[in-house]
């Protein structure tokens, strides 16, 4: 249908390894759901590491890849039903771009960031790097907003914003992903012209997008909402819905979809 269609679907999913996702038949879901833009994080693979059949299935989707320099680590990839106006790899900052964390896709009137935000690490040694990433990205977005661009940031933010966004907030206040200094950056983004569109639509809804593999957490729904769409204020009226597909298996994260009218 191209970019003149009424409703456009963007799906974000941390697949925790693309080869594992294929093994777990995650592709069966995305082929059936068929989003207009599929943004995958933590792919941990280059195209040449996939089977011929897997590569063929993805080549039909106008793929853009940003693998990390370190093999088997991080990486994002974006797949578009119709060829985008343009794509940009990374942020233009070597210390972040070496980890393959960002892909930018330009649609009519909208710039979509597919991002795998850094994890602070169990020993918190990477928290500083993570916060620097938030700051550098925001400076870029501020400039884009100042130039009149409308922005969608979708991906694994590796941070829960509010108590409602995870099952056991008190027990996790000292853990990365729920540290005060991490959560504050979400506040700062919201002060700089962004809206957490899921929370905007569903202010009281307790729904998660990630569950540890330990202790049957997913079966008990002991989860965290780590996967977000932050969108420019100017786009809010164009949004039809945000769907957290928490029944979809294939990773420790589930996919999240944004339905938006491109107008």
Active site residue 156: yes
Q: For 253, which DSSP code?
A: B
Out of 36, 156, 165, 227, which one is annotated catalytic? 156
The CA distance from 63 to 175, in Å, is 35
**Per-residue tokens: 95:** 């210390």
Which residues, in sequence order, are bridge partners of residue 163? none
* Three-state SS at 151: strand
CB contact at 8 A, 84 and 107: yes
Sequence-separated contacts (24+) of 210-215 with Cβ below 8 Å: 210/14, 210/156, 210/252, 210/253, 210/254, 211/252, 212/252, 213/252
Could you list the active site residues?
156
């Amino acid at each position: 249908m191209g970019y003149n269609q009424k409703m456009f679907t963007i799906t974000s999913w941390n697949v925790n390894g693309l080869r594992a996702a294929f093994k777990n038949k995650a592709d069966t879901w995305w082929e059936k759901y068929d989003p207009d833009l599929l943004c995958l994080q933590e792919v941990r693979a280059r195209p040449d590491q996939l089977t011929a059949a897997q590569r063929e299935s993805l080549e039909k989707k106008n793929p853009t890849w940003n693998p990390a320099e370190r093999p088997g680590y991080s990486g994002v990839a974006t797949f578009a039903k119709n060829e985008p106006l343009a794509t940009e790899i990374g942020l233009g900052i070597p210390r972040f771009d070496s980890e393959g964390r960002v892909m930018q896709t330009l649609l009519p009137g909208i710039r979509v960031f597919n991002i795998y935000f850094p994890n602070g690490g169990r020993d918190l040694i990477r928290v500083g790097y993570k916060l620097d990433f938030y700051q550098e990205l925001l400076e870029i977005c501020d400039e884009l907003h100042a130039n009149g661009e409308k922005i969608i940031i979708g991906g694994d933010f590796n941070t829960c914003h509010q108590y409602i966004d995870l099952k056991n907030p008190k027990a996790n206040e000292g853990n990365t992903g729920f540290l005060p200094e991490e959560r504050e950056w979400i506040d700062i983004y919201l002060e700089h012209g962004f809206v957490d569109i899921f929370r905007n639509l569903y202010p009281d809804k307790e729904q998660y997008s990630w569950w540890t593999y330990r202790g049957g957490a997913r079966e008990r729904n002991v989860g965290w909402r780590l996967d977000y769409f932050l969108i420019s204020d100017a786009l809010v009226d164009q949004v039809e819905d945000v769907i957290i597909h928490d029944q979809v298996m294939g990773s420790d994260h589930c996919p999240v979809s944004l339905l938006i009218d491109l107008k």
